[in-house]
Amino acid sequence: MAPEPGRSERICCAPVADHALSAGEAHDLAAVLAALADPVRLRIFSIIASQEEICSCNLEEPLDKSQPTISHHTRKLAAAGLIVGEKRGRWTWWRAVPEQLVALGTALSLAEPVEG
Amino acid sequence: MAPEPGRSERICCAPVADHALSAGEAHDLAAVLAALADPVRLRIFSIIASQEEICSCNLEEPLDKSQPTISHHTRKLAAAGLIVGEKRGRWTWWRAVPEQLVALGTALSLAEPVEG
DNA sequence: CCATTGGATTGACATCCATCGATGTATTGA
DNA sequence: TCAATACATCGATGGATGTCAATCCAATGG
């Protein structure tokens, strides 16, 4: 389901404010942040994450977006490792990946208050 | 220094995965995420946040970007409430706003593991 | 085998955005 | 007053992105 299954989008453990990020670190972290930096994707993710699992057919109506648009956004969220989809019968069921979200929160957290 | 000083970009305490975000909540949160969803801005922020304070003149060289580009990015980070600038003499000194980063991390963290 | 349905893909379009050269503005120092 | 400097702003440009209509594909059910 994910377009790039082998691609490692795992976020490293280093908090943003701990040291100056390298170009590579910034690139990887920005990719995951970009996946959430859209109101529609953020709502899609919150709907998926706040439930056990949900199929795409239940996303169009509350978000008032077309089916291709929903498909486009779920694809991006999956590519970022934030959700995973499983095709059962005719429907695709989406689940959130809590580990990736927690890793993102950790990466953004201050290691310790900047000593002033 | 911040282009929209009165604009409230403060992130609410509600984690993304706790409930389905409203359009307004998603809009506000996505705006802050978008500010960090760029490799150059992420590196700028990490440089600023990992030091006490720093002036813009020390950002161009390590990032290999032009002065207008750096100014453009610092403006966006400031608009998102992630950094604040203070003009002292000829230089503008930038400091990170830890509260906003912590608030972002909180908003993204899982409130509690989804009960299966 | 065929109609239906969930949903991915394609193509097109409009918009946003990162980037930089050129220029403007304010401050410093001579 | 004038040159130099730090930085903001403007205008242009190329690339990325959100959106949807049209289409294609796969699975279901008759």
pLDDT in tens, B12-43: 445 788 889 999 999 999 999 999 999 999 99
Domain boundaries, chain A: 23-107
| pLDDT average, residue stretch B56-72 | 95
The answer to whether the C-beta of B5 is closer than 7 A to strand D is: no
Is B81 a residue whose pLDDT tops 70?
yes
| DSSP element (H, E) containing A48 | helix A39-49
Does residue A116 or residue A9 have the better pLDDT?
Answer: A9
Rounded alpha-carbon distances, angstroms, from residue B115 to A49, A110, B108, B111, B112: 11, 28, 18, 11, 8
pLDDT at A110 (0 to 100): 53
- Predicted confidence at residue B110, as pLDDT, reads 53
Q: What pLDDT does residue B41 have?
A: 98
Q: Is-contact A54 A34, C-beta < 8 A?
A: no
Residue among A22, A7, A11 nearest A109 (CA): A11
- Rounded to whole angstroms, the Cα distance separating B25 from A43 reads 9
Separation between the CA of A1 and the C1’ of D29 (whole angstroms): 26
pLDDT at B102: 85
The proportion of chain A whose per-residue pLDDT surpasses 90, expressed as a percent, equals 66
Query: Quick count: other Cβ atoms within 10 Å of Cβ A18?
Result: 16
pLDDT score, position B106: 82
Contact flag, residue B110 CB and nucleic strand D, below 7 A: no
Q: Which residue is nearest to nucleotide D4 (CA to C1')?
A: B90
Task: Enter the DSSP assignment of B50.
Answer: T
B10 CB-to-strand C distance under 7 Å: no
| Domain B23-108 sits in CATH 1.10.10.10 | yes
**Residue A16: closest CA among chain B residues belongs to which residue?**
B46
Among A33, A46, A49, the residue with its CB nearest the CB of B36 is A33
Question: What is the rounded average pLDDT for all residues in chain B?
Answer: 84
What local confidence, expressed as pLDDT, does residue A19 receive? Answer: 86
The residue among B4, B10, B8 whose CA lies nearest residue B104 is B10
Q: Which two tokens stand for residue A65?
A: 């977006």
Please check whether strand C approaches the CB of A89 to within 7 Å.
Answer: no
What pLDDT is attached to residue B7?
37
**Residue A68 amino acid letter:** P
Predicted pLDDT at B87: 93
The string of pLDDT tens digits covering residues A9-59 is: 444 445 788 889 999 999 999 999 999 999 999 999 999 999 989 999 999
Sheet holding A83-88, edge to edge: A54-55, A91-96, A83-88
> Distance from CA of residue A92 to its chain's centroid?
17
Question: How many C-beta atoms surround the C-beta of residue B48 within 10 A?
Answer: 27
Is residue B11 pLDDT above 70, yes or no? no
For chain B, percent of residues with pLDDT exceeding 90: 65
Q: Is the pLDDT of residue B4 over 60?
A: no
User: For residue B101, is pLDDT > 80?
Assistant: yes
Look-up of token digits 């994910």: A2
A86: its two tokens: 């499983």
Confidence class for position B59, pLDDT limits 50, 70, 90: very high
For A15, how many CA atoms within 13 A lie in the half-sphere containing its CB? 18
Bigger pLDDT: B109 or A21? Answer: A21
Q: Which of A18, A26, A114 shows the shortest C-beta gap to B42?
A: A26
pLDDT, position A54: 94
Instruction: Kindly determine whether residue A30 and residue B38, on different chains, have CB atoms separated by under 8 Å.
Output: yes
**Does the domain spanning A23-107 belong to CATH 1.10.287.990?**
no
Measure A41 CA to nearest chain B CA, in Å: 9
